[in-house]
A and B are shown apart, each in its own frame.
Chain A
Amino acid sequence: MSDFFTVSVIFATLAAGIRLATPYLLAGLGETVGQRSGVLNLGVDGVMQLSAFFAYWTALSTGNLWLASLVGLGVGLLMGLVYGVMTVRFKAEQGISGIGIFLFGLGFSDLMFQEKVGTPKFIPSKLPSVDIPFLSDIPKIGPALFSHSLMTYGAFVMVPLLSLMFSRTTFGTNVRAVGENPEAADSLGVSVARVRYTSILIGNAMAGVAGTALVLDLGIFQPNLTQGLGFIAIALVYFGAWRAPGVMAGALLYGFVQATVISWKALEIIPRSWSDIASAAPAILTIAALVVLARRVAPPAALTKPFTRH
């Protein structure tokens, strides 16, 4: 135990936690946008895997990580379009539609990987860490907080941006209106379909970037890369009570627990087998949080309800 409570180990764990929280945060924020408009998307994990593969493949063949990120985003948008048509146009049951997207993403990314890459290879370069001037010079805490990839900074910058979007912009207000009371929004001339399509596209694009962030951080792809990360991101939206800062808190919790378990394992503080139980802790904590929050915070009133104009 004493090994863990050295300053350097704690700050290294802090830095790793922030890095590991990035994909959770991106995917969770994206899902928040969709759910605030009244659309549940259970397909996040599948979208992440598809984007992760295509970003990885692009990075392997071109070596260009920017292009790879763009491809990951594009794949997310494409899947968002599919999901929008399913849920907005065809009013599919949202509790299961996403499972179709998940299975397609799981299968197709695996298929393409076997076919196009075969044996796992590392991407030659990694996302560079960018030091924020002055702040990263603060001893100990500076490098832990202010020396990350642009992907990580971008994810955390999205938190205030989305909060502002919901509270200050017309689009954000429309998203909330459509998620709470689509009939009223519709009678005021807001196009429910257009707002939902846009929200779904934003959400899936962010899921795509989340998958890209994950694969570029690991530097390698393997089938079922996400191991259910996308599903946890959905739970984080409930955990965070549909608010960006709450989702961030949840994402950081998962990131820190993961980083702590890795560091405890490396320092042999806990037996290897115990780390499995420790890895289950955030899921149990999430269920506990859901129990506490369920009766206190109401989800968007129109969540999972397709809109039909009467």
Chain B
Amino acid sequence: MRRLVSAAVPTFAALAAFAVAAIILVALGASPVEGFRAIFSGAFGNVDRLSVTASRSVPLLLVGAGIAISFRASVINIGGEGQIIAGALLATVTALAFPDLPRPILLPMVLIAGLVGGGILGAIPGALKAYASVNEILSTIMLNIVAVQIMNYLLRSPLIDPLEIQRGTRIPQTKQLSHNAVLPTLIGGTRLNLGVPVAIVAAIGAYLLLWRTPLGFRLRAVGHSPEAARTAGIPVERSVVEALALSGSLAGLAGAILVFGSEGQRMATDGSAAGFTGSAGYNGIVVALFGGLHPLWTIPSAFLFGGLITGSNHLQRVLQVPSALAVTLSGIVVVFVVSSTNLRERISDLLRARSDLDDSPPESPKSEVVAT
């Protein structure tokens, strides 16, 4: 019964988003039925589209699983955008520094560099929160801005493709990165690359870490009640840093996968964060919320939102409805999920109260006699 209640929130949010989408489609003069069909077939219609959807889900899944970790420790991470960029930059620099290493060494190296880069950018707001009481919502947002500017600087100057300078075109992008760092394709002729299984393994890892390791127990204890955790001898400060570092490192891994799974096989910027991340740092929050902040449920959740993105692109091609519909719907999903969370708690409280009543042993008349 309680499980049913927790499934009710995302279902309700999805229905609400569908309703709003239908209204928008009608308002734009498109048939909602045709619109939904276009989104669905564009996302899941054939093997090719499924593979695009899967690869679009990868950054959403990684950021989402990371968000789930930090939320479980009561730490809010809005810095996904910056952490993706930091991971991508460190991975890119690694690939540029060791172009001749063979694939079995270089590929794991760039993925680890991604984890480290994102982890560092996550650990900074973690340390600022733990040791200087700086609100992590603000510091992660500020670091997003810093990360974008550092990316723009690096890609316009020290890391720019020498050819761009020779030609005078100065497009802010690196040269093509070592082929040995590129994520291999799993099924020939599709976009399905190694990033997909890596992300799924990382999400399962996040689940195991939270519920099967002492570290995860500490993080959840801190999330439940920092005071109680402190009384129990748990190092609260260190746990806060670890939560944000772990969260950031998964986002950083997403950054590395974005670079080495891209068609151009290079890192490029259009000057904005979204131009590189596709707003995965924010959409990952949506995915995590929709998945009930559970790393395993973020897997189908990410696939769904990845589908919404690829489906909306298809929608734009066939019905000329702008693909920005996807971001709009993501926002609506968040609005409904957060607004109904409280309602859900109230319902489960009621249920708990009722089952407590049922579980309580029937009063025995005998004890009453003794008492009197």
Q: Which residues of A contact B (CB under 8 A)?
A: 40, 42, 46, 82, 85-86, 90-93, 95-97, 99-108, 110-111, 114-115, 223-224, 227-228, 231-232, 234-235, 238, 271-274, 276-277, 279-280, 283-284, 286-287, 290-291, 294-295, 299, 306
Q: Which residues of A contact B286 (CB under 8 A)?
A: 99-100, 103
Tell me the bound Cα distance from A295 to B273 in angstroms.
31
Could you list 18 further interchain pairs (A-B, Cβ under 8 angstroms) beyond the known A95-B76, A110-B322, A276-B156? A90-B340, A95-B137, A97-B339, A100-B331, A101-B335, A103-B279, A106-B279, A227-B272, A232-B141, A234-B138, A274-B153, A276-B153, A280-B149, A283-B145, A286-B138, A290-B139, A291-B134, A294-B132
Tell me the nearest residue of chain A to B337, going by C-beta. Answer: A100
B274 at interface (Cβ–Cβ under 8 A)? Answer: yes
Q: Which residues of A contact B289 (CB under 8 A)?
A: 96
B326 at interface (Cβ–Cβ under 8 A)? Answer: yes
A232 near B331 with CB under 8 A, answer no
B282 at interface (Cβ–Cβ under 8 A)? Answer: yes
B353 at interface (Cβ–Cβ under 8 A)? Answer: no
Sort A-B residue pairs by CB-CB distance and give the 4 closest, nearest first. A104-B331, A100-B334, A107-B327, A103-B331
B350 at interface (Cβ–Cβ under 8 A)? Answer: no
B325 near A93 with CB under 8 A, answer no
Of A99, A280, A294, the residue contacting B135 (CB under 8 A) is: A294
B194 at interface (Cβ–Cβ under 8 A)? Answer: no
B185 at interface (Cβ–Cβ under 8 A)? Answer: no
Tell me the bound Cα distance from A91 to B325 in angstroms.
27
B324 near A107 with CB under 8 A, answer yes
B338 near A86 with CB under 8 A, answer yes
A101 near B331 with CB under 8 A, answer yes
B180 at interface (Cβ–Cβ under 8 A)? Answer: no
Q: Which residues of B contact A102 (CB under 8 A)?
A: 282, 331
A290 near B338 with CB under 8 A, answer no
Q: Which residues of B contact A111 (CB under 8 A)?
A: 24, 322, 324-325, 328
Tell me the bound Cα distance from A89 to B342 in angstroms.
10
B331 near A107 with CB under 8 A, answer yes
Tell me the bound Cα distance from A107 to B135 in angstroms.
27
Knowing A93-B338, A102-B331, A103-B286, say if A280 contacts B146 (CB, 8 Å): yes
CB distance from B112 to the nearest CB of A (A): 26
The count of residues in chain B whose C-beta lies closer than 8 Å to any C-beta of chain A is 54
Within 8 A of A (CB), among B186-241: none
Total A-B residue pairs with C-beta atoms closer than 8 Å?
163
Within 8 A of A (CB), among B147-165: 149-150, 152-153, 156-157
Q: Which residues of A contact B78 (CB under 8 A)?
A: 42, 99
| A-B pairs with beta carbons under 8 Å apart, 9 shown | A40-B137, A42-B137, A100-B333, A103-B328, A107-B324, A107-B328, A115-B322, A238-B138, A276-B149
CB distance from B304 to the nearest CB of A (A): 16
Tell me the bound Cα distance from A283 to B146 in angstroms.
6
Q: Which residues of B contact A92 (CB under 8 A)?
A: 338-339, 341-342
Tell me the bound Cα distance from A274 to B150 in angstroms.
10
CB distance from B333 to the nearest CB of A (A): 8
Tell me the bound Cα distance from A82 to B339 in angstroms.
11
Q: Which residues of A contact B329 (CB under 8 A)?
A: 107
Tell me the bound Cα distance from A99 to B78 in angstroms.
9
Q: Which residues of A contact B135 (CB under 8 A)?
A: 238, 290, 294, 299
Tell me the bound Cα distance from A238 to B76 in angstroms.
17
Of A93, A110, A115, A231, the residue contacting B141 (CB under 8 A) is: A231
Of A104, A227, A286, A295, the residue contacting B328 (CB under 8 A) is: A104
B343 at interface (Cβ–Cβ under 8 A)? Answer: yes
CB distance from B117 to the nearest CB of A (A): 17
B141 near A82 with CB under 8 A, answer no
Q: Which residues of B contact A (CB under 8 A)?
A: 24, 28, 76, 78, 128, 132-135, 137-139, 141-146, 149-150, 152-153, 156-157, 272-274, 279, 282-283, 285-286, 289, 321-322, 324-335, 337-343
Tell me the nearest residue of chain B to A286, going by C-beta. Answer: B142
Q: Which residues of A contact B273 (CB under 8 A)?
A: 228
Of B141, B143, B146, B272, the residue contacting A224 (CB under 8 A) is: B272
CB distance from B350 to the nearest CB of A (A): 15
B339 near A90 with CB under 8 A, answer yes
B331 near A86 with CB under 8 A, answer no
Tell me the bound Cα distance from A9 to B67 in angstroms.
47
Q: Which residues of B contact A232 (CB under 8 A)?
A: 141-142, 145
Tell me the bound Cα distance from A46 to B145 in angstroms.
17
CB distance from B69 to the nearest CB of A (A): 15
A97 near B149 with CB under 8 A, answer no
Q: Which residues of A contact B149 (CB under 8 A)?
A: 276-277, 279-280, 283
CB distance from A108 to the nearest CB of B (A): 5
Tell me the nearest residue of chain A to B345, going by C-beta. Answer: A91
Q: Which residues of A contact B283 (CB under 8 A)?
A: 103
Tell me the nearest residue of chain A to B275, going by C-beta. Answer: A224
A90 near B343 with CB under 8 A, answer yes
Q: Which residues of B contact A90 (CB under 8 A)?
A: 338-340, 342-343
B134 near A290 with CB under 8 A, answer yes
Tell me the bound Cα distance from A302 to B324 in angstroms.
36
Knowing A227-B272, A228-B145, A280-B150, say if A97 contacts B334 (CB, 8 Å): yes
A277 near B153 with CB under 8 A, answer yes
Tell me the bound Cα distance from A286 to B28 in angstroms.
42
Tell me the nearest residue of chain A to B326, going by C-beta. Answer: A107
CB distance from B174 to the nearest CB of A (A): 14
Q: Which residues of A contact B324 (CB under 8 A)?
A: 107-108, 110-111, 114, 223
Tell me the nearest residue of chain A to B128, going by C-beta. Answer: A291
CB distance from B192 to the nearest CB of A (A): 27
CB distance from A306 to the nearest CB of B (A): 8
Tell me the nearest residue of chain A to B342, going by C-beta. Answer: A91
Tell me the nearest residue of chain A to B283, going by C-beta. Answer: A103
Tell me the bound Cα distance from A295 to B152 in angstroms.
33
Tell me the bound Cα distance from A306 to B285 in angstroms.
21
Tell me the bound Cα distance from A93 to B289 in angstroms.
11
Knowing A107-B325, A227-B272, A294-B134, say if A287 contacts B334 (CB, 8 Å): no
